[in-house]
Amino acid sequence: MKRIMKKRNRRLKEPFRLRAARAARGAARVLAFALPLPLLAFGSWWAYGKLTTAGYLSITGISVIGAERVAEEEVIGLSGLKEGQNLFSFSKDQVISSLKANAWIESASIDRKLPDRVVIEITERRPAVFVKTDALYLMDARGIIFKRYSAEDEGLDLPVVTGFLPGRLGEREEEMEGRLLELISLLNNRSGFNITGVSEISVDPAHGLSIYTLDEGVRLDIGLDGFEEKLVSFERILGTRDGVLRGIEAFDLKNHREVVVRFATDVVKRGGEANGKEG
């Protein structure tokens, strides 16, 4: 019986020392990448601990910028920051969130001034009108009802918006509210007859917007558009009376080319584009 002889693998094998060296180099590369990670994490933790407990970084002063209606002391109290506290021991986001708990504060920023000071800058809301529903509220020029009026808000001299139902407050997609904001913006930015001469703005879904003048309480029915042209027509007619509103009950300005002036006893039509002459 013939013996089957297996051929030997005559290929030269790589020496063991070379293979071991290559494996060692690979392991070294892995360790060179992996070992610094925990060391780096530990070093960061250690450095943060030292930073937040260092005595020379203790707060010695807190400044407030932008506070007008909200007292500086109240702003500092809301922030929760105290002198003697470490400059890096608080979260800016948490401080800002605490500050905005005050309805008057619209936005805020915190700036650390090395080595020992903090600057708080706030932006206060600017109320544009009162809104009267179940109570009296403050609304800014963006249509945000931000607080209920209280005795602390004395000194505000603003027109009152009437006609909104409580359930509709804040529904900015509503056409009436959008038109109201447009009118308020116009009155705030125009010369001549402007927001300072307005005592009330009435919102009526059927008839649109009406303005009541501060002088004599005359009603200006202006609808839902073309506010600038209508107010110009009102000013032209008023100019023919030397600015006197006494004896007038209302102006129908819905068609600014043919303004209807309602007096206490009769009605006279005047052309808004004809310099106040009778039409």
| Predicted confidence (pLDDT) per residue in 227-259, tens digit | 999 999 999 999 999 999 999 999 999 998 899
Tell whether 162 and 116 lie within a shared domain.
no
- Is 49 part of any domain? no
Q: What is the CATH number of the domain that holds 98?
A: 3.10.20.310
Residues 239 and 166 both lie in one domain: yes
User: Cis omega before residue 127 (within 30°)?
Assistant: no
Asked if 258 and 165 sit in the same domain, the reply is yes
d(CA 176, CA 10): 95
| 42, part of any domain | no
Which residue range is the domain that position 88 belongs to?
Answer: 56-124
Max CA pair span of the chain = 142
On whether residue 19 sits in a domain, the answer given is no
Q: Establish if 184 belongs to a structural domain.
A: yes
CATH number of the domain within which 216 lies? 3.40.50.11690
Q: What's the CA angle centered on 52, arms 49 and 58, to 5 degrees?
A: 150
Q: What is the dihedral of CA 211, 215, 216, 217, to 10 degrees?
A: 20
Q: How many domains does the chain have?
A: 2
Which two three-digit tokens encode residue 117? 């000071």
- Does residue 143 share a domain with residue 216? yes
Looking at the domain assignment, is residue 39 inside a domain?
Answer: no
Mean pLDDT of 183-190: 96
Q: Is 159 a residue whose pLDDT tops 60? A: yes
Same domain, 137 and 100: no
What is the reported pTM?
Answer: 0.72
CB 204 within 8 Å of CB 196: no
Please check whether residue 251 is in contact with residue 245, taking contact to mean a CB–CB distance below 8 angstroms. Answer: no
Question: Quick one: 265 and 206 in the same domain?
Answer: yes
As a whole number, the mean pLDDT across the chain is 82
DSSP secondary structure letter of residue 143: S
In a domain, 30, yes or no: no
Long-range contacts formed by 49-55: CB under 8 A, 24+ apart: 51/86, 51/88, 52/86, 52/88, 52/89, 53/86, 54/86
Q: Residue ranges of the alpha helices (H) in 14-91?
A: 16-34, 36-51, 72-79
Q: Within this chain, do residues 205 and 81 fall inside the same structural domain, yes or no?
A: no
Residues 88 and 143 in one domain: no
Taking a C-beta distance cutoff of 8 angstroms, is the pair 120, 63 a contact? yes
Domain boundary among 124, 158, 179: 124
Report d(CA 30, CA 28) in Å as an integer.
5
Residue 237 lies in a domain: yes
Q: Under DSSP, is residue 7 helix (H, G, I), strand (E, B) or coil?
A: coil
The residue ranking higher by pLDDT, 39 or 91, is 91
Residue 37 lies in a domain: no
Residues 108 and 131 in one domain: no
Q: Give the pLDDT confidence of 197-207 residue by residue, as tens digits.
A: 999 999 998 88
More confident residue, 102 or 271: 102
What's the DSSP call for residue 58?
Answer: B
